[in-house]
Amino acid sequence: MRFNLKDYIDCSPLQAKVHCVKSPMPKTLEAVFLDRDGVINEEHGYEHRPQYIRLLPGAAAALRRVNELSIPVIIVSNQSGIARGYYMQDYVDSFHKQFSEILKDFGASIDHFYYCPHHPTAGEGDYTRQCDCRKPLPGLLERAARDLNLDLENCVLIGDKAIDIGARARAGCRTILVMTGYGKRDLDSWIESYRPDETASDLAEAVELILKATNLRRLNFRR
Ligand SMILES: [Zn+2]
């Protein structure tokens, strides 16, 4: 089932104008950015033990569709558990290795992982500071764009939280909010600057939307 902000929120004409404006998906797709928890796997808060990785239905197959087109799949996630002292950076790296192994069993893969280990106030160590990479700030997207020579205007960001979509405001990606994870909850507290371009029930539907709109040519991408 498709969720549409216009149907989901009882909009006044003014609110409808604010909440429900859509930008078209890019015709040329250079990369797909994704939040991790709540989009690909079940959300478990700060839990990082691999035995808690539960892929959401259809998520691996959706990633595989993107992989088969040689379009890079890039995770961008906030990992403030590092700043908070819940776990070390190595632990997140090893979690991502396990995550990749699980996806591999389904023929899917992630090309790059980018994450922010910081928090502006929580914790006491080096990672407790204002940074430019904690979403909704666009630092992770901009770093990936520099590293991989991507034009963010030709990328799509899929997330389940307002802070994922907010990154779009300054980075230029098109955005899709999925209703898995915190997606439904965040619709209730929606504000203008976080509006997505599209909504989808889950990752599979989001990928379907992207591929339908895109002619799948890639420009200027060097791996
Ligand atoms: Zn950061």
User: Which residues are within 5 Å of ligand 1 (an ion), measured at CB?
Assistant: 116, 118, 131, 133-134
User: Does residue 220 carry a pLDDT above 60?
Assistant: no
Radius of gyration of the chain (CA): 17
To the nearest whole number, what is the mean pLDDT of the chain? 80
Q: Is residue 222 part of a domain?
A: no
Q: Is residue 193 part of a domain?
A: yes
Q: What distance in Å separates the CA atoms of residue 46 and residue 117, rounded to the nearest whole number?
A: 12
The catalytic residue among 7, 37, 93, 105 is: 37
pLDDT of the residue at 49: 74
Q: What distance in Å separates the CA atoms of residue 138 and residue 166, rounded to the nearest whole number?
A: 8
Q: State the CATH number of the domain containing residue 189.
A: 3.40.50.1000
Q: Is residue 19 part of a domain?
A: no
CA of 159 to the centre of ligand 1 (A): 18
CA of 36 to the centre of ligand 1 (A): 16
pTM for the complete prediction?
Answer: 0.82
Q: Is residue 220 part of a domain?
A: no
CA of 83 to the centre of ligand 1 (A): 10
Find residue 55's DSSP bridge partners.
41
- How are beta strands 73-78 and 112-116 bridged, if at all? parallel
Across residues 149-156, what is the average pLDDT? 93
pLDDT of the residue at 50: 75
For 67, the domain range is 5-13+26-213
CA of 134 to the centre of ligand 1 (A): 4
CA of 118 to the centre of ligand 1 (A): 4
Q: Is residue 66 part of a domain?
A: yes
Across residues 157-167, what is the average pLDDT? 80
CA of 74 to the centre of ligand 1 (A): 17
On whether the CB atoms of residues 186 and 209 are closer than 8 A, the answer is no
Find residue 175's DSSP bridge partners.
157
The catalytic residue among 7, 35, 111, 188 is: 35
Of 11-20, 91-100, 193-202, the range with the highest mean pLDDT is 91-100
User: Is 35 annotated in the active site?
Assistant: yes
Q: Which of the residue ranges 3-17, 31-45, 114-128, 154-168 would you say has the lowest mean pLDDT?
A: 3-17
User: Does residue 144 carry a pLDDT above 80?
Assistant: yes
Quote the number of domains for the chain: 1
Of 214, 216, 143, 144, give the one whose Cα is nearest residue 176: 214
Q: Is residue 165 part of a domain?
A: yes
Q: Is residue 46 part of a domain?
A: yes
